[in-house]
A = this chain, B = another copy of it.
Amino acid sequence: MSTYLHREAHFKSSHTLRDVVIGMADGLTVPFALAAGISGAVSGSGVVVAAGVAEIVAGSIAMGLGGYLAARGEMEHYESELQREEQEILEKPKAEADEVAEIFQHYGLSEPEYRGVIEGLKAHPRAWRDFMMRFELNLEVPDPKRAGQSAFTIGASYILGGLVPLAPYVAIASAARALPWSIGVTLVALAVFGYVKGRFTGAGAVKSAVQTTAIGGLAAAAAFALARAIS
């Protein structure tokens, strides 16, 4: 099945792509909105840069390390469910066989139709366990390298995205004069990012560009208005 293999390959490479999207979407949006917000409350660019860097550091650690622990947690969850299924198959094969039957009944299949599969699984307890993990619990075998890679990709993408809106504040001493440049470069970056994201994920590229730019712009406008109101 060439389409089958093609799809499989597509799903594998999209893990990294998904992590880049997760990190960069927030990295472009939150530091941008924060910098715009603070620009409404202070005059010098120094505070904006300090706050922006603090945010990028905090955000990349929270997202990267958070993602790492989430992936680790999923692995532990998989291991514990694997042991549970193994034990249930050993101790309560009748109940487990009923669960397999339930799965097929859900798709309108009758006992004579799925009987063969149940008999076949009973003959291979390890395959049965893996079958239950995937088809009863909907858990996929986790890749042990994923957690670290995912943390790094998300964190790095967040940092890369966050440096875009901050660059003008580094170059221009007045926050008020740096703000329009920051808005300009970031909206362009958001549109390009949204467009590329849309192309890769199969959603409409233009629609994705508009949505991504709108979220960033809305977040920045709200942050600017609120920070100015309370300061």
Contacts and interface: CB of A to CB of B under 8 A. Distances in A.
B124 A107 contact: yes
B124 A54 contact: no
A33 interface: yes
A138 B13 CA distance: 16
Nearest to A231: B50
A148 interface: no
A222 B58 contact: yes
A104 B76 contact: no
Contacts of A201: 73, 77
A201 B80 CA distance: 12
Q: Which label, helix, strand, loop or mixed, suits the secondary structure of the A interface?
A: helix
Q: How many copies, total? A: 2
Interface residues of A, number: 83
B54 A37 contact: yes
B76 A203 contact: yes
A30 B62 contact: yes
A224 B54 contact: yes
B223 A57 contact: yes
A226 B50 CA distance: 8
A117 B114 CA distance: 5
Contact of A66 (B36, B65, B202, B215): B215
Nearest to A204: B76
Interface in A56-97: 57-59, 61-63, 65-66, 69, 73, 76-77, 80, 95
A112 B116 contact: yes
Given A61-B218, A73-B203, A223 B99 contact: no
A107 B130 contact: yes
A42 interface: yes
Given A121-B109, A127-B107, A135-B135, A226 B57 contact: yes
A57 to B, nearest CB: 5
3 nearest A-B pairs in the assembled complex, by CB-CB distance: A37-B54, A33-B58, A113-B120
